[in-house]
Amino acid sequence: MKDRNLIRGLFLITISLGFGLVALRYPRGDFSRAGPGMFPLIVSSLLLLIGVITVVRSRFVEHLPLTFNVKHIALILGSLIGFAVISEHVNMIAGVIFMVFFASLAGSAKYSVVRNLKIAAGLIAVALVFQKLLGFNLPLY
């Protein structure tokens, strides 16, 4: 069942319906005076067509398995979201430290607190250079 080509088609159809159904609610006007809903509707219809073609085509070509590794992408996204939330509520230095420690769980090398501390210290130094010398507006502390 996990055919990459088939899933791709279904994915495209989902996106096209997502945009297309919302676009239906916007005023369309007519071709000589197109409203805001006209163009997105045309584009999402084309995308729907491509999605359907992809699904049909997947019947004719070789089935390829879909590989999806949840762990790494979840860790990376988690570290980004954590960085944003902590920077918002505490400060950005804490955010950087959290990001380094959390993201490193995804690395293939052995987990090392000392190495993470070194990376975090280096990155905070870079952030300070950005703030002081290049005029970036970073809420570091």
Q: Using CB under 8 A as the criterion, which residues of the chain lie in contact with other proteins when the complex forms?
A: 4, 7-8, 11-12, 15-16, 19, 22-23, 26-27, 30-36, 38-40, 43-44, 46-47, 50-51, 53-54, 57, 60, 66-69, 72-73, 76-77, 79-81, 83-84, 87-88, 95-96, 99-100, 103-104, 106-109, 115-116, 119, 122-123, 126-127, 130, 134-138
Cβ-contact 36, 26 below 8 angstroms: yes
Nearest-approach distance from CB 1 to other proteins, in angstroms:
15
Nearest-approach distance from CB 10 to other proteins, in angstroms:
10
Nearest-approach distance from CB 50 to other proteins, in angstroms:
5
Nearer to other proteins, 63 or 72 (CB): 72
Backbone phi, psi, residue 34, to 5°: -70, 135
Q: Name, in order, each residue with C-beta under 8 angstroms of 83's C-beta and a sequence gap of 6 or more.
A: 95, 96, 98, 99
Pull the structure tokens for residue 92. 């950005």
| Strand, helix or coil for residue 3 | strand
* CA angle (138 as vertex; 137, 141 as ends), nearest 5: 130
